[in-house]
């Protein structure tokens, strides 16, 4: 049964090469193809002997993803359905904005959190993605960025399917491999991990002093409203989350991004803005206000332009950095909260 070559250390690959009658330096060549040259097949590894490549092909995978479907939004956003080796599917997105390309990646098949506004949560939890699958996903998106937009990938946001901090080790291992200076040297300052507020993992990020940006999907600083929208708030209420974020800032010195979807008549009133401003007094923040993207769940409605503007003005008057983000890819269900396993997309072959 095949295994993933990315699970093998350099020493293990060296032992394998020697067992196949190859000199030890072949292992270093292979290692470079895997981690630095973004190889997705053994056939690409042209400086390896054909017999060695055939042996590798028989024993290992080098990339387990198949691009099952692709859709293109009117705004240029592209959503991809990737099939994993066991037949499970995930969705990932490439988002063009101001000359930059951002990849939104997934870390789980489905999600266990069940946030009432999120389509992914309606799937339930299927399984964690292995670090090799997460790494394969990023490599594929890097290549698709070059192919579709003729430019390199600029940013990675871990905001796709799943709660990344419930798959902590696999997520961080994949990001560490991508940002390793000896491999792709992708700047960790261009990687953001978004969480619904998994307090023990936030503390773990702080104690490890991880170099990645942290974003919190908050959506309300009113305890009752947050619990109504996000079941995770029952386990990790706002005082506990506040303490974790204070610890995170004390350990890392990093500004925290607060993500806040504006729902009409639920969390977009002046008192909601006041509660959010109060929550953000304990640590430096940047607030990303997000337009609600409709899903088949039909649970919530969008904030009006007038109410959204008042919300922004209130926070700006408190000298808080606020961005009202324009959603991208909503027409192909690629925007925030819309990703869900979908095998019926029509592929775009342009």
pLDDT digits over 76-131, tens only? Answer: 999 999 999 999 999 999 999 999 999 999 999 999 999 998 888 888 999 999 99
> Distance (Å, rounded) from C-alpha 70 to C-alpha 76?
12
Nearest to 196 by CA among 336, 34, 38: 336
Alpha-helical (H) ranges within the chain are: 10-19, 25-35, 50-59, 131-149, 168-179, 199-208, 223-229, 232-235, 238-252, 270-279, 305-317
pLDDT tens digit sequence for 250-284: 999 999 999 999 999 999 999 999 999 999 999 99
Residue-wise pLDDT tens digits, 201-232? 999 999 999 999 999 999 999 999 999 999 99
pLDDT tens-digit series, residues 41-69: 999 999 999 999 999 999 999 999 999 99
Catalytic sites, residue numbers: 91, 336
Q: Does the structure show a pLDDT above 50 at 32? A: yes
Dump the DSSP string for 99-127.
TEEEEE---EEE-SS--TT-TGGGG-EEE
CATH class of 3-61: mainly alpha
Nearest CA among 208, 210, 279, 277 for reference residue 245 = 279
Reduce the DSSP state of residue 67 to 3 states and report it: strand
- Residues sharing a CB contact under 8 Å with residue 73, sequence separation 6 or more, in sequence order: 79, 328, 329, 330, 331, 332, 334
Structure-block tokens of residue 193: 């991990």
- Tens of pLDDT along 291-340? 887 665 567 888 999 999 999 999 999 999 999 987 675 665 555 555 45
pLDDT at 23 over 90: yes
The mean per-residue pLDDT over the stretch 178-201 comes to 97
DSSP 275-320: HHHHHGGGS-EEEEEEE----TT----BPPHHHHHHHHHHHHHTT-
CB 148 within 8 A of CB 130: no
C-alpha to C-alpha distance for 318 and 321, rounded to whole angstroms:
9
CA neighbor of 216 nearest in space, from 274, 276, 266, 174:
276
Q: Which residues contact 106 (CB under 8 A, 6 or more apart)?
A: 90, 91, 92, 129, 134, 137, 160, 161, 162, 339
Please list the residue range(s) of the chain that carry CATH number 1.10.150.530: 3-61
**pLDDT at 344 (0 to 100):** 40
Tracing tokens 């960025």 back to the chain, one arrives at 145
**Could you tell me where in the chain the CATH 3.20.20.70 domains are found?**
66-332
Tell me the CA distances in angstroms from 291 to 300, 302, 330, one per residue in order: 12, 7, 10
Q: Residue 118: its pLDDT value, please? A: 86
> Is the pLDDT score of 26 beyond 80?
yes
Local structure of 184: helix, strand or coil: coil
Report d(CA 179, CA 187) in Å as an integer. 6
d(C-alpha 132, C-alpha 57), whole Å: 17
* pLDDT of 163 strictly over 50: yes
Answer yes or no: is pLDDT of 350 > 50.
no
Of residues 51, 65, 68, 52, the one with CA closest to residue 17:
52
CA separation, residue 224 to residues 6, 238, 251, 271, 297 (Å): 45, 10, 30, 14, 21
Q: Check: CB of residue 198 under 8 Å from CB of residue 241.
A: no
Q: Which of the following CATH numbers is that of domain 66-332: 3.40.50.300, 3.20.20.100, 3.40.190.100, 3.20.20.70?
A: 3.20.20.70
Q: Check pLDDT > 70 for residue 348.
A: no
| Cα distances (angstroms) measured from residue 345 to each of 69, 126, 205, 209 | 6, 21, 36, 40
């Amino acid at each position: 049964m095949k295994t993933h070559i990315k699970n093998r250390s350099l020493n293990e690959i060296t032992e394998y090469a020697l067992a196949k009658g190859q000199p030890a330096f072949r292992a270093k060549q292979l290692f470079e193809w895997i981690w630095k040259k973004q190889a997705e097949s053994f056939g690409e590894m042209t400086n390896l002997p054909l017999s060695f490549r055939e042996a590798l092909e028989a024993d290992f995978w080098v990339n387990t993803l198949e691009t099952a479907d692709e859709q293109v939004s009117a705004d240029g956003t592209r959503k991809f359905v990737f099939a994993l080796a066991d037949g499970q599917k995930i969705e990932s997105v490439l988002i063009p904005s101001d000359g930059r390309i951002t990849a939104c990646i997934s870390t789980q098949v489905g999600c266990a959190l069940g946030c009432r506004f999120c389509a992914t949560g309606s799937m339930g939890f299927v399984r964690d993605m292995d670090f090799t699958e997460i790494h394969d996903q990023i490599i594929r998106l890097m290549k698709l960025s070059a192919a579709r937009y003729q430019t390199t990938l600029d940013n990675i946001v871990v905001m796709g399917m799943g709660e990344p901090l419930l798959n902590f080790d696999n997520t961080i291992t994949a990001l560490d491999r991508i940002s390793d200076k000896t491999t792709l040297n992708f700047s960790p300052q261009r990687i953001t991990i978004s969480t619904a507020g998994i307090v023990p993992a936030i503390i773990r990020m702080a104690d490890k002093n991880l170099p990645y940006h942290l974003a919190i999907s908050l959506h309300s600083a009113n305890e009752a409203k947050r619990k109504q929208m996000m079941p995770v708030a029952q386990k990790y209420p706002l005082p506990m989350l506040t303490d974790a974020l204070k610890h995170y800032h004390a350990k890392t010195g990093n500004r925290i991004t607060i993500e806040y979807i504006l729902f009409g008549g639920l969390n977009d009133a002046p008192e909601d803005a006041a509660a959010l401003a109060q929550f953000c007094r304990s640590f430096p923040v940047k607030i990303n206000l997000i337009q609600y993207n409709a899903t088949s769940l039909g649970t919530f409605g969008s904030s009006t332009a007038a109410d959204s503007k008042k919300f922004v003005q209130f926070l700006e008057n408190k000298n808080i950095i606020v961005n009202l983000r324009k959603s991208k890819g909503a027409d192909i269900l690629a925007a925030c909260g819309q990703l869900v396993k979908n095998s019926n997309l029509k592929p775009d072959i342009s």
